[in-house]
Amino acid sequence: MKVLLTTDTVGGVWDHTVTLARELDAAGHEVLVAVIGEPRDERLAALPTGVQVVWRAYRLEWMQDAADDVRAAGEWLRALAEVWSADVVHLNQIAYASQGFAAPVLVAVHSDVLSWWAHVHGGEAPADDWGTYASWLRAGLRAADAIVTPTAYQGTLVARYYGVKPTRVIHNGIQFDAEEPRPREGGIVLSVGRLWDRGKGVDLLDDAAALLGADAAEIHVIGETVAPHGEAFGVRSVVAHGRVERAQVDEWMRRASVYVAPSRYEPFGLAPLEAALHGCALVLSDIGTFRELWDGCGEFFPTGDAAALALAIRRVCDDPARRERLARAARTRAARRYTAHRMASEYIDLYHQMIRTHVRRPPRAEAAA
């Protein structure tokens, strides 16, 4: 089976794509990764040698002044799928699905602006600013042969904001290391995510760190501080390390004893999963996604409440038995439910179903040329 798999270079979609591409390649399928954006060499090195990669530096559908790039990227992907004779087109962005691919199209909804806006700002996204974007996504979702969300919670948001019911929930997964994490003392608290994205809630963690004071555990954050549109985020009380490479993230997770996910909005959250497998206890905002994935395995605090977050961090850091119990429960949950092999198997099963039931469209003249 030949799978055209799209990705971008801004967030966790890249790591998700690398994991899925590895599993598909190991299962004997051909994979062509089409990157929207310019990937760094060290990121390309993470892909198996058997996986082909092409890229174009287009703006993504949620970026400012993206109309020409969205159209051009969609046309490029449609032509690429036709020339490469893809059996399945797996889009990790939504708008391109309306381009009229000849092969069956799966859209994976990893995030969207309308649900992000509601969770971060507490209201509807302004139609003047986001109406065109919303129309692109509705058209893409309606054109898709299958729609996948990484959590059932995100599926309810897709139905609410775009009027389309997803086909299936496939939880994200990562490679599982069977080796037990080494013991740690509890001196480091870690969070990973785009610092400029208010949905990630790093500002809450910064406020909580100020409340905890100098005698608390070290709180470190990793992630981009400057948004693609130029907005920057500065910290006051946490230690910010900016963007680091994958190996450094893993090393920080091996050192940390507590991982904090203060998100206001999160369709899945790969970083808490990675931290759980590395042996961290999880402190999580009480949002629908985290309750679905980690109920009973983490210390929850009311979303948006910095004082409650500070108390939750102190409870876990000051109680070694509680911390160990939470860490073990999260790792067990992750190893049973959120593995790369399980994720890929579910995608492969869905690909086969799509191929069996798809009525192939004739190629467009410009795509065939």
Residue 181 lies in a domain: no
Which of the residues in the chain have pLDDT under 50?
365-369
DSSP letter (8 states) at residue 140: H
Is 125 found in the same domain as 196? no
Output the pLDDT for position 220. 92
Is 248 found in the same domain as 321? yes
Tokens in use for 43?
A: 């990121």
Q: Provide the total of helices (H) and of strands (E) in the chain, helices listed first.
A: 14, 13
Is 200 found in the same domain as 153? no
Is 204 found in the same domain as 136? no
Q: What share of residues in the chain are helix, strand, coil (percent, to 5)?
A: 45, 15, 40
What domain range includes position 216? 188-337
DSSP string, 215-234: TSPEEEEES--B-TTS-B--
Output the pLDDT for position 366. 46
Is 194 found in the same domain as 170? no
Q: How many domains does the chain have?
A: 2
CATH number, domain of 216, equals: 3.40.50.2000
Is 210 found in the same domain as 156? no
* Rounded Cα gap, residues 35 and 57, in angstroms: 8
Report pLDDT digits (tens) over 107-142. 999 999 999 999 999 999 999 999 999 999 999 999
Report pLDDT digits (tens) over 222-281. 988 777 766 777 778 888 888 888 788 889 999 999 999 999 999 999 999 999 999 999
Is 251 found in the same domain as 166? no
Output the pLDDT for position 344. 98
Output the pLDDT for position 186. 61
Is 344 found in the same domain as 294? no
Residue 200 lies in a domain: yes
